[in-house]
């Protein structure tokens, strides 16, 4: 009976905990994930680690590698790129095109717009060849980058996203990739907000329908193949009293263009309405001032490292958060700036952990002179 009592009690606690978490709406897609980039928390997901055909979402990685090359000055936006017969041959592949041919020398900037706005497979091939010399070499760069990020379920076989055996990713991996594009290459992110682009007198609209429907949506990428279904990565940002908040949704395997847009919109609307992003700490601002021994000052300022710290909680739960500080005592000089001396834990009203952050020294504390060190050594011994 005692075992039955505790089993029932544990089940009740689990049910109550789940009841406090907002339940997402029904999303008509095979896989999806909603990520709050302010806190890094996943708010909703389904089959997010199931490998699937990523279609043209692949071009997020293609673009990332090109952005890296421009940043490293291996390419420039104004550089003209010859169009190879391999790039021109994409016209026979049945996918999206920028419509370039071997008589043209488009600039890198134009090819990026053709790849991102028009989802041009020919533009993707031309850029890959310009960066790495061959498609095989460029695909190797894509896979090395995926491995460096720990994307264990992602394998690239081409730069365009056309269906090929072994070419796969997941909603979670795609979300990680899209988040890295936003974080690592903010200067290039504006390409994803362009609503239409004309090249060689051929105008094409961006297939991300949310760019015209929701003023908060400012990117990112669509995809479609017969095996992948209709896919969309959408990113939206809002200015809130405590700072900017960005949501990123990944929807894969929807049934139509309209469906992928509608389901992405539904998912993000739920993210805005059901969750709050709470700003906990600002970068460089002290969380605590604690005694320090054998140093030139009596106290050390402790806080978090770089960047403001957010957590995402169910709407209205922000005032119930608690912050717990665990630190290694005594603190003895010298202390270096950025040195970890403990942990900050953020828990909700039920005591469940939401975030664990390193507690760091904000300003260096040099070693005191011989007399000061001797005096503090005596005080420590007495304690």
Secondary structure (3-state) at 162: coil
Q: Which DSSP helix (H) or strand (E) runs through 345?
A: strand 340-347
Q: Which of 39, 56, 96, 124 is catalytic?
A: 56
Say if residues 286 and 301 touch (Cβ distance below 8 Å): yes
**Distance (Å, rounded) from C-alpha 111 to C-alpha 125?**
10
Q: Determine phi and psi for 285, rounding to 5 degrees.
A: -95, 135
Say if residues 208 and 231 touch (Cβ distance below 8 Å): no
Measured N-to-C along each axis, helices 135-148 and 59-71 cross at an angle, to the nearest 10 degrees, of 90
Secondary structure (H, E, C), 303-318: ECCCCCEEEEEECCCH
Residues β-bridged to residue 202: 199
CB atoms within 10 A of CB 221: 30
- Nearest Cα neighbor of 217 from 243, 239, 235, 196 is 235
**Distance (Å, rounded) from C-alpha 66 to C-alpha 62?**
6
Instruction: Confirm whether 56 is a catalytic residue.
Output: yes
Residues β-bridged to residue 346: 323, 355
**Distance (Å, rounded) from C-alpha 153 to C-alpha 20?**
31
Instruction: Confirm whether 59 is a catalytic residue.
Output: yes
**Distance (Å, rounded) from C-alpha 147 to C-alpha 153?**
10
With 0-12 / 13-18 / 19 or more C-beta atoms within 10 angstroms meaning exposed / middle / buried, residue 160 is buried
**Distance (Å, rounded) from C-alpha 145 to C-alpha 324?**
36
Q: Which of 96, 119, 235, 249 is catalytic?
A: 119
Q: Which of 59, 113, 221, 294 is catalytic?
A: 59
Number of H helices, E strands in the chain: 10, 15
Secondary structure (3-state) at 100: coil
Active site members: 56, 59, 119
């Amino acid at each position: 009976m005692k075992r039955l009592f505790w089993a029932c009690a544990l089940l009740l606690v689990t049910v109550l905990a789940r009841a406090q978490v907002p339940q997402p709406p029904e999303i008509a897609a095979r896989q999806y994930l909603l990520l709050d980039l302010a806190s890094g928390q996943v708010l909703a997901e389904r089959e997010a680690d199931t490998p699937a055909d990523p279609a043209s979402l692949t071009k997020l990685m293609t673009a990332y590698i090109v952005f890296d090359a421009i940043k490293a000055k291996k390419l420039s936006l104004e550089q003209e790129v010859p169009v190879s017969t391999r790039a021109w041959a994409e016209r026979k592949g049945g996918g999206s095109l920028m419509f370039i041919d071997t008589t043209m020398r488009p600039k890198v900037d134009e090819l990026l717009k053709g790849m991102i706005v028009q989802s041009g497979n020919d533009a993707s091939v031309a850029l890959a060849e310009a960066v790495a010399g061959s498609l095989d070499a460029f695909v190797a760069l894509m896979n090395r980058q995926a491995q460096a990020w720990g994307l264990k379920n992602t394998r690239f076989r081409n730069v365009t996203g056309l269906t090929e055996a072994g070419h796969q990713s997941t909603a979670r991996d795609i979300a990680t990739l899209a988040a890295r594009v936003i974080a690592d290459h903010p200067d290039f992110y504006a390409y994803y907000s362009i609503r239409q682009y004309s090249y060689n007198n051929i105008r094409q609209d961006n297939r991300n329908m949310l760019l015209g429907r929701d003023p908060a949506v400012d990117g990112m990428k669509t995809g479609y193949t017969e095996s992948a279904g209709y896919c969309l990565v959408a990113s939206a940002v809002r200015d809130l009293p405590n700072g900017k908040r960005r949501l990123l949704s990944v929807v894969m395997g929807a049934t139509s263009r309209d469906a992928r847009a509608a389901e992405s919109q539904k998912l993000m609307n739920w993210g805005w309405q059901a969750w709050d992003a709470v700003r906990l700490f600002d970068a460089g601002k002290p969380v605590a001032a604690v005694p320090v021994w054998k140093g030139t000052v009596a106290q050390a300022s402790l806080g978090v490292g770089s960047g403001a710290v957010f957590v995402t909680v169910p709407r209205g739960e922000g005032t119930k958060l608690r912050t717990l500080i665990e630190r290694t005592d005594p603190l003895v000089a010298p202390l270096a700036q950025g040195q970890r001396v403990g942990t900050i834990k953020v828990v909700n009203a039920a005591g469940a952990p939401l975030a664990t952050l390193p507690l760091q020294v904000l300003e260096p504390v040099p070693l005191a002179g011989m007399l000061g060190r001797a005096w503090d050594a005596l005080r420590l011994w007495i304690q």
